[in-house]
Amino acid sequence: MLSLSSMSESVRSGLSCFLSEQALEQEERQQRSNQLAEFQRLREVRAAAQLKNLEDFLKMNHVSLRECVSYTTGMRYRNLGKSGLRVSCLGLGEWCVCVCVCVCVCMAEELMTLAYENGINLFDTAEVYAAGKLHFMVIFALTYRRSSLVITTKIFWGGKYVYYFFLSVSLLLSPLCLASLERLQLEYVDVVFANRPDPNTPMEETVRAMTHVINQGMAMYWGTSRWSAMEIMEAYSVARQFNLIPPICEQAEYHMFQREKVEVQLPELFHKIGVGAMTWSPLACGIISGKYDSGVPPYSRASLKGYQWMKDKILSEEGRRQQAKLKELQAIAERLGCTLPQLAIAWCLRNEGVSSVLLGASSTDQLMENIGAIQVLPKLSSSIVHEVDSILGNKPYSKKDYRS
């Protein structure tokens, strides 16, 4: 049997070992706390240095920080993918419906001016928008410095060249691309998008054509629109294989009822090859605006000729379920002190993988309401986002999410 003295010595030894382990753990926690504090301090020092450099630069150019558009409007700017092109987080687009059907050219000029004055620098056009009658873009581009605007265009169909449906070299280098610049009366566009992939043209030919368009100074960058992740990856691989220029951005539909591509597929492409996301239809063609909660009102988009598919969608069983969810989301919007469209747009902006959200507007009031979504963005806490996801019930999960 162990003596009392040996037992007490064993207890003292165990207690000493326990206390030393506790002291070591406490020391490690203190070190981690100190490291976090130092990291936070370095972040603040870096932010202050960046602000000081910005103020010095603006002062050198006789501009006050408080006079900057982003300071007065709250507009945020993000890089388009991993390129150096900085775009406003909100852009003005969707001209095909808004200009052709809802607004006149004078209203289009007013909307563009209002957007620019509120910090929007991204304007998305296409050959088919307004049937190619984009002369108001010419006036707008001449009014302001061209370098302060980011103008994009899309090609696949176009204007009077309706017999061109291919992304071949002959298309891009002669009629359509040159006609687009001629109609806009611009020397170049910042980004030219291949609107939908072309199954009839080899990928190498499309990438070579886009590279030539950029090398000729007709565009600064090129991107894709409605391409699959596999097709974008193929274009990137071809560009790297033949020393050509890869796409920098994909235009994709993104809203509360359409999430898979932007939240799962594009983030993987961004981290692998630097392709960013420029999204459109944040209100799902107006479905999320709340105006269809009691059916299809007259003079709404769903009541227009050619939009029977949208009317059928709204009146379907799935459409009724969506409207029921929107009523629950309306309660969250009221709690945040915003409108349902503002909540929906801010919800799109909260995705850090989204470089810019393209807006469509038919009136100045609607445009200003949509721009107000920027003020809602800071209110979208993790608990609010989780509550929205619970109502929607459609959050997609990537492979990484499944493993976690």
Query: Known catalytic residues?
Result: 129
One-letter amino acid identity for 138? Answer: V
Amino acid at 306: G
Cα torsion 355, 358, 364, 369: sign: negative
- The C-alpha angle with vertex 71 and arms to 69 and 73, in degrees rounded to 5, equals 65
In eight-state DSSP terms, residue 263 is I
Closest CA to 120 of 280, 342, 359: 359
State in Å, rounded, how far the first CA of the chain is from the last one. Answer: 52
Q: What token pair was written down for 150?
A: 């980011």
Environment class of residue 64 by beta-carbon count within 10 Å: exposed (0-12), middle (13-18) or buried (19+)? exposed
Q: Phi/psi at 203 (nearest 5 deg)?
A: -60, -40
φ, ψ at 64 (rounded to 5°)? -90, 145
